[in-house]
Structure 1
Amino acid sequence: MRDHSRSEQAVGFLLGLVGEEAAARVRARTGLPGPESRAAAERRLTRAWAWARRLPSSVVLWILENDDPKLNALVWHHADIDAGLRRALARGVPFGPGRTGSLLTARFRPGEEPEVPESYVRHGLVGALRAVTSMNEGRAAASMVVTRADWHTVAEADGERPLPGYARWALSVRPDCPPSVRAGFGSHAKFTHRLRTAGVLESPARYATSYAPAVEVLEVLAMGHLLFPARLPEAEDALRPLVHDHLGDREEAWTALAQQMETFPGTAPELLITAGAAA
């Protein structure tokens, strides 16, 4: 079976939200391709990860939460990831909720871990964070926060006496920063903007409904059964009512969607509304 184009993948993902019978009727009437095979999806995953650099950082974290050595290796080699995440990968630290211990099978060669900052060697974790006076220093110190115990230490230190602003900023934009710790750093508009710019998302539903262009988001979601199966249902639940309301099993609506998919600049909800209205 041939590999699907990204727009075919995107349309196929949405078709999967209307139910098998309705999807089969739409495909029969429009000639849209059937679902991509798992083998073809796996080939795409290992071959076409250039788009990983466009993934929001939280999406990368959702992939790492699988604690799958093969996925970790793909992220390591192809994604532009935070130094702290890279350090955790190099040390075999698990990302999945509730998981403990070391992922020995996911470890990388010694020396591949990012350089340990001198301030950490001199002052330790909390001391290095308190000594931060610039964003570069903040990122370097924050990269030494690796384990859940480290995050607990950070929260205690900030509770005793607020950490410097640059340190808080660098920590807050880490996708693996626990929500409870991030909440202690602030909630004003500028802070929220920084998080969005860094690609930190509160949920897969937010990614599915607020990121653009739609074809790129939907292509990633189409690979969600391989990349982040535990998180995918949240994104599907956010889009399913919109698919039913604006497309349903209407042949002309799905045809309009397929025609607009590759070039539409807006979000997935905007695309669904536009395709439904055009029909």
Structure 2
Amino acid sequence: MRDNSTSGAAAGFLLGLIAPEDAARIRRRTGLPEPATAAELTAGHSTALWSWTRTPVSVSVLLWVLEEDDPDLNLWVWRHVSADNAMRRAIVRGVPFGTARTGPLPVPANLTPQDEPPVPESYTRLGLLGALREGTSMRAARTAASMVVERSDWRAVTEADGDRPLPGYARWALAIRPDCPPALRAQFGTHRRFAHRVEQAGVLDGPAEYATSWGPASHVLNVLSTGRLLFPARVGEAEDALRPLVRDHLGDREDAWAVLAQLIDTFHGNAVELVVTAGAIA
């Protein structure tokens, strides 16, 4: 059976975490999706990416893609509905996000400097730090924060906030950026309300947290199923977090996988809760 639905891809991601021979038997008995062949992956590459750009995701997912420092993948991030002006500005300027690269990236095909989002008037008038300090609303602060692009910009912000703390809106706008350096985010504050705002914005420690804490499960697992294509350097963290859980609660039990297939479309909890619930019902 070939199932190209979102839930089919989500269940397929979990099936990839058990032994291949067990997964093949469970697919035959339950009708869960077969893994895509190499030819299908190649043929469906662009279609899958177009679909992905229309699916809202946690902003940290986009950062994991940008960390690949692949201009072709960056173009898809630029097109994504969840991308903001800061990300698009960085992509057009060739800013690297990975740790291994120091020089600029090639600008993705089909993009030119004219595609960069407009430079805020406050930045032109006051410069980066002046614009951040002038922001008296969240909208103004986020507009100014979109000009923090280069690593040198983050260093300048860190030093300026250390000398004289930035206004609350500026700190908030910068903290909910997924690429905000963790040390700077901690410098901004550790109050529980502040941490909650960061979490609400979709800023995560990594794919393991996304896999185990975010929901609904079908959406998260479907996003992770694109990980080998979009963020191969990080998707293994999610697999490692879920593999012991899948082994302990589902394993090679056909009945448990059949229950999971019935639940996954309408289950509102996260992937951990889905796997535990399916195993318990079976």
- What TM-score range do you get, normalising by the shorter chain? over 0.9
Match of 1:175 in 2: 178
Match of 1:195 in 2: 198
Q: Unpaired runs of 5+ in structure 1?
A: none
Which portions of structure 1, spanning 4 or more consecutive aligned residues, are displaced by more than 6 angstroms?
none
Partner of residue 274 from structure 2, selected from 265, 271, 276: 271
Give the CA deviation at 1:50.
Answer: 4.9
Give the CA deviation at 1:70.
Answer: 2.0
Contact 1:243 1:272 in 2 (8 A): yes
Contact 1:9 1:36 in 2 (8 A): no
Stretch deviating more after TM superposition (168-177 or 33-42): 33-42
Give the CA deviation at 1:147.
Answer: 0.5
Give the partner amino acid of 1:79: V
Q: Does residue 144 of the first structure (1) align with residue 147 of the second (2)? A: yes
Match of 1:33 in 2: 33
Contact 1:41 1:223 in 2 (8 A): no
What pairs with 1:100-249 in structure 2 (closer than 5 Å)? 100-106=102-108, 108-249=111-252
Give the CA deviation at 1:110.
Answer: 2.7
Give the partner amino acid of 2:277: T
Change in 2 beyond 3 A, CA 1:150/1:214: same
Give the partner amino acid of 1:25: R
Query: How far apart, in 1, do the equivalents of 2:209 and 2:43 lie?
Result: 28
Structure 1 length-normalised TM? 0.94
Give the CA deviation at 1:3.
Answer: 6.5
Contact 1:214 1:265 in 2 (8 A): yes
Partner of residue 69 from structure 1, selected from 66, 71, 76: 71
Give the CA deviation at 1:104.
Answer: 2.1
Match of 2:10 in 1: 10
- Give CA-to-partner distance per residue, 1:161-200, whole Å, 9 cap, x none: 1111111011101111111111111111111111111111
Give the partner amino acid of 2:164: R
Structure 2 length-normalised TM? 0.93
Give the CA deviation at 1:113.
Answer: 1.2
Match of 2:20 in 1: 20
Contact 2:71 2:106 in 1 (8 A): no
Query: How far apart, in 2, do the equivalents of 1:224 and 1:65 lie?
Result: 13
Q: Helix, strand or coil: the match of 2:239?
A: helix
Give the partner amino acid of 1:174: R
Query: How far apart, in 2, do the equivalents of 1:178 and 1:158 lie?
Result: 13
Contact 2:66 2:74 in 1 (8 A): yes
Stretch deviating more after TM superposition (152-161 or 31-40): 31-40
Q: Across the two proteins, how many residue pairs are aligned to each other?
A: 278
Indicate the percent of aligned positions where both proteins have the same amino acid. Answer: 60
Query: How far apart, in 1, do the equivalents of 2:51 and 2:30 lie?
Result: 28
Give the CA deviation at 1:208.
Answer: 0.5
Query: How far apart, in 2, do the equivalents of 1:43 and 1:150 lie?
Result: 34
What pairs with 1:48-87 in structure 2 (closer than 5 Å)? 48-52=51-55, 54-87=56-89
Query: How far apart, in 1, do the equivalents of 2:183 and 2:16 lie?
Result: 35
Q: Helix, strand or coil: the match of 1:150?
A: helix
Give the CA deviation at 1:118.
Answer: 1.8
Give the CA deviation at 1:71.
Answer: 1.6
